[in-house]
Chains A and B, each alone.
Chain A
């Protein structure tokens, strides 16, 4: 089975009628190309459901940052790690839950001041932007480590209409 089939084979787009909540559930392996494909797929799904275009772009970025972190820090680039993604979309908010079974995560780091304008050329950061972006673009961040799993839930409040 190819990577693509694996990813799409586990995709569901079930609408839960009682709460008018749309769900997208996808499982991937800890491979950068799979992250690339899945965030593209998620942004397509959000577009389909009429989430505002700029918001979709921001959410795609947040998902990429979170999943890249899991690949790098939870699974240390081992390509057989499992990552479960659940996106729940309602009229007024989006919640994304990312679960992995990799190394224990200490929890989201605080916002860090990066005074890049006053840095020497040689000191300019080549990384470490991820959590600042996630914190800036999301409204709520929850984390728990339970049963050897890292579970991160990110919430973004939405104002626009979501068409089911």
Chain B
């Protein structure tokens, strides 16, 4: 079983050249508060008229991965059908004191922190069942976080397509260029998921990368 997984990881990208899947399962990954759920909602609203979850300013609002199957995207005559997995924010530390700042009592903050740790584990487990990743980064933040480095490294090790989404470009101190220079080997699409800025470029890039 382990050998088969290792072979799939190493040579999977060659097989994909010959056997295209009808449907790609795409995970939306990133650190907490990067705008993953906002992006998932934007994609679903544009192509299905639906939403997947409620975004929030409180970190770790999404603590369970959410799957939406069969989202059909059509760009320039190209059609792409994807399953979208909105994953909980990845982190290397979770301190319940952070949640106290948002008006929660200690018990609620600790419960949320515990759920957040479970969410991180779930997000990592999902990496084994995906065909591609949209890695969402907050363009106003330093892109060289361990979470970003780990996700990029894992996608490269699995030879799976990765598209970096430089989100929040509507904010004055956003710098998609900083993300591009941090990860020059991967395509970066600057967008604002909240305002819908440059979202058509993202769909085009998705069709090219995952189609």
Q: Do A and B come from one complex?
A: no
Q: B residues touching A (Cβ–Cβ < 8 Å)?
A: none
